[in-house]
Structure 1
Amino acid sequence: MTIAYQQFGGGHQTQIWLSSVRGQFQKIYPGSKIVLEPINASENEYYTKLDLMNQSAKTAPDIMVEDTFLVNSDASAGYLMPMNKFVNSWPAWKRDFYPAMQKAAESTNGTVYGVPFNTDTRGLWYDKPLFKKVGLPVPWQPHSWANILQAARTIKAKAPGVTPLWFYSGKPMGEASTMQGFEMLLYGTHNTLFDSKTKRWVVSSPGFLNSLNFVKTIFTQNLAEPLQNALTPESSTIATQQLMPKQKVGILLDGVWEYSNWLPTGPAPWPKWNSVYGVAKMPDQNGDGYTSMSGGWTLSISSKTKNAQMAWDFIKLACNKNNMLHIDLMDANVTPRKDVAAMPAYKSAGHGILSRFASFNAFTHFRPAFAQYPSISNDIQNAMENVMTGSVSPAQAMQQYAQQVTNYVGKAHVTSVK
């Protein structure tokens, strides 16, 4: 039985977790052969390579680590096995998993295609000593985009050599640009990508335009990272593993998992991280609330597997209470299981950072879980990159985005918000 998963940069947390579960599994089932197949690639490349593997029964893995935003598209493509019969016979599924996390692994018709092993939220990491040095308040909690820009401009003026605001944008960072970057802006404008009432994609809105204008502002005013550090799939690695431990990043808009880089088991161990970086909620554009985005990963079974029961037994073991605690602590992510969240080891993890990010669940959002989303996400990345490099204006980028989306979903499935 084969298990495919992404491995990129210096992090090997998924491999460590799966290797541990493999050892447990082989004690329960002596003689079973389980092959771990790491795919060394960035997020977008991982999706592409996994897609290619799934096109043939000879290369398709039995189990795959699946991004929740791809569940619908991969299910539609016939790559994933429905798992309702398995999860419905597993008491922990209904008893211990948060309902929202169960939904994250479902298609639009209610078919379950995976078991989530982590989820996440996003916020603003900020350098507390640096903020004090340049005269910014600590603790810091911005209430609008204007507050963020004001802090970034202060850092730029008073701390030469420090990147004021690290913000993922453009095609090389893939879905991270869309979700950690653009959607963290858009969903704070109270506009969305998809209108759930009309069931149409929103291709033009004031919030979309304002979000692109924010991207333009930070990159043209040198408030964000240099383009050579932004337009590379290593952007996150550069920020979190190289520059943040040197206190060369003032603010980073990113997820809960980033502190795992600095743990003793991480790729860039840094014992003092918690005394340096704090976390703030991401504010809405005009100060009327806060926002976040949530995603996560599942263990899914290939539709082409000949070992369905064995694959399910492995997933059930991997996602039990203790093994879930293992991966969620090591990977520094929000757990999908209520019983894990209540464990003392989890509640105290990361000096309370996990619980801090978990509180963002009160105002978080999820990406539209439709088969067209991956293509739409790619169009957003194109729009961001064109704006940040100065190729087009934000208004032109939105117009191009609207045309691209309309071309492949059809005029009947798009709408504009004035």
Structure 2
Amino acid sequence: MKPALVILAAAVLALAGCGTDGGSGDGAITLVITANAISGGKNAESADWTKQWVIPRFEAAQKAKGRDVHVLFQPSGVDDEQYKTKIALDLKSRTGADVIDLDGIWVGEFAQAGYVKPLAEVAGPEADSWEGWGQIPTAVQGLGIFDGKRYALPQGTDGRVLYYNRKLFEKAGLPSDWRPASWQEILDAGAALKRAGVPIPIQVDAGTAMGEATTMQGALPLLAGAGAEIYANGKWTGASQALKDVLGFYRQIYTTGLGDPKLQQEAQGRDKSFARFAEGKIGILAEGDYFWRAVIEPKAGVAPMANRDADVGYALIPAARPGAGIRGQDAVSMSGGAVRVLNPFSKNPKPAWELLSFMHSAEATAAQLAGAARITSRTDVNDQVLGVDPMLKFVSDEVLPVTAYRPPLAVYPQVSVALQEATADVVSGTSVDEAAASYQRKLEAIVGASNVAR
């Protein structure tokens, strides 16, 4: 953070941290919003929306109710970890903004530290009766839920699917409207693509070089498809049968010629997989909706496909078998995204809740899009804005209701690396049992044996 910005932030907090009356004594209050966004820099669109749309409209709405409410925006434009540290220090000292942007993956960590509390504890019963809950799918609400309690309102989210090249499918005699119902059907399609001469029939990220992409695009959706989550009921999933099933699926892909093991080991392997797909060299690719709207987007994509809409199909990630996924689902996905929380030490918690819920209203959510087609947390807004993009509408309608999230705990990144290493082991030829046992040992060293379920 630049020195001038540090001074400005300190001044804002001194005057208005946690909602003050500004010393006026006339009933006026000041609320503060903070986010890792700054006009002209990081997440500029969000910063501009907050300053130019949220603040004037909320203040006007409050004035119409006879209330003198002023809202300040405290910007940041720093590395995510720097921002996280700053927010944690603010909350630890019981200061900071009233409404705070967080990455959803931080919620549990902050909750366990006592830095954030359930919305209903801070704002009262109004938080549980908010109209917006009826517009946010239960699975999407999970982004802001920890230990069964709502700590945050989810912002936009995403979803993982299977992309496939329709031209390659036609060449292999596969349907253009492919809808696999099991892992075996994915493998069968991969075998048909291989017989048709497709260089890389299936690409599911694996290994440590792919980093978190291995976990989010592959291992965790597959684990959900095997009926388990990496963390549930206070325990981390160890060398369970579900974990072995996931590793077995990886092994079938990468030791039978259905996938390219070398690509998983390259530093730029994921980017290369994007290019290979765009070049028509990969038949099936597991990825998020980011791939559709930013990678193979016909005009401005990283690896543009001029005929994307005609040549690229997409399908739900099936459970290992019908009904075998988490919650008895036939299909699964994984999502991520940001949330907003209330500062539990706010001097004006109820007005702060009004501001937070206003920021997540249908009108505000649509305004934040600024005409772009992106997936929001609200079904009513998605129904309005995603009609122009059938793929994103597919994610909103079919993927989000079956999605799941990474555990929002501080130790998760270490667990993720251990999971990546397990996939790397089977890709390189290690047996499933050996890879699972190695993962179990690493997991127990990270979280403690008593916190691991098999």
TM-score, normalized by the shorter chain, greater than 0.5: yes
1:175 partnered with 2:212: yes
* Cα separation, 1, equivalents of 2:51 and 2:322: 48
Residue pair 2:152, 2:342 contacting (<8 A) in 1 also: no
In the TM superposition, what are the counterparts of 1:80-119 in structure 2 within 5 Å? 80=116, 83-84=119-120, 85-86=122-123, 89=126, 91-108=130-147, 110=149, 112-119=150-157
* Cα separation, 2, equivalents of 1:5 and 1:230: 34
1:376 partnered with 2:415: yes
Distance change (3 Å), C-alpha of 1:131 and 1:55: same
1:211 partnered with 2:246: yes
Distance change (3 Å), C-alpha of 1:37 and 1:137: same
Structure showing greater Rg: 2
Please point out which of 284, 306, 309 is paired with 1:251: 284
Q: What's the offset of the Cα at 1:380?
A: 1.1
Q: Which residue of 2 aligns with 1:320?
A: 361
Please point out which of 165, 185, 193 is paired with 1:127: 165
Higher relative contact order (CA 8 A, sep 6+): 1
Residue pair 1:165, 1:252 contacting (<8 A) in 2 also: yes
Distance change (3 Å), C-alpha of 1:79 and 1:244: farther
Residue pair 1:57, 1:305 contacting (<8 A) in 2 also: no
Q: What's the offset of the Cα at 1:225?
A: 4.4
Residue pair 1:87, 1:93 contacting (<8 A) in 2 also: no
TM-score in terms of structure 2 length? 0.71
Residue pair 2:76, 2:83 contacting (<8 A) in 1 also: no
Please point out which of 178, 193, 198 is paired with 1:155: 193
Q: Which residue of 2 aligns with 1:72?
A: 108
Please point out which of 240, 259, 275 is paired with 1:224: 259
Q: What's the offset of the Cα at 1:222?
A: 4.2
Please point out which of 333, 337, 353 is paired with 2:378: 337
Distance change (3 Å), C-alpha of 1:314 and 1:236: farther
In the TM superposition, what are the counterparts of 1:259-408 in structure 2 within 5 Å? 259-261=292-294, 262=297, 270=305, 272-286=307-321, 290-301=330-341, 316=357, 318-325=359-366, 330=372, 332-333=374-375, 335-343=376-384, 345-346=385-386, 348-351=387-390, 353-355=392-394, 358-361=397-400, 363-368=402-407, 372-390=411-429, 392-408=430-446
Q: Write out per-residue CA displacement over residues 336-360 of structure 1, whole angstroms, 9 at most, x where no aligned residue.
A: 22322442x33x1312542355223
Bigger Cα displacement from structure 2, 306-315 vs 131-140: 306-315
Identity of aligned residues (%): 22
Q: What's the offset of the Cα at 1:267?
A: 5.2
* Cα separation, 1, equivalents of 2:361 and 2:381: 9
Residue pair 1:301, 1:311 contacting (<8 A) in 2 also: no
Residue pair 1:216, 1:388 contacting (<8 A) in 2 also: yes
Q: What's the offset of the Cα at 1:331?
A: 6.6
Distance change (3 Å), C-alpha of 1:320 and 1:405: same
* Cα separation, 2, equivalents of 1:134 and 1:247: 13
1:23 partnered with 2:52: yes
The residue type equivalent to 2:336 in the other structure is G
Q: What's the offset of the Cα at 1:211?
A: 1.2
Q: Which residue of 2 aligns with 1:43?
A: none
What residue ranges of structure 2 are gaps of 5+ in the alignment?
1-32, 60-69, 325-329
Q: What's the offset of the Cα at 1:98?
A: 3.4
The residue type equivalent to 1:4 in the other structure is N
Q: Write out per-residue CA displacement over residues 351-383 of structure 1, whole angstroms, 9 at most, x where no aligned residue.
A: 254235522345444445556544433321222
* Cα separation, 2, equivalents of 1:226 and 1:25: 49
> Could you say what secondary structure the match of 1:405 adopts?
helix
Distance change (3 Å), C-alpha of 1:171 and 1:340: same
* Cα separation, 1, equivalents of 2:442 and 2:189: 36
**RMSD of aligned residue pairs (Cα, Å):** 4.0
* Cα separation, 2, equivalents of 1:326 and 1:227: 45
* Cα separation, 2, equivalents of 1:101 and 1:134: 37
> Could you say what secondary structure the match of 1:135 adopts?
coil
* Cα separation, 2, equivalents of 1:13 and 1:249: 33
The residue type equivalent to 2:172 in the other structure is V
Q: What's the offset of the Cα at 1:127?
A: 0.7
Q: What's the offset of the Cα at 1:4?
A: 1.6
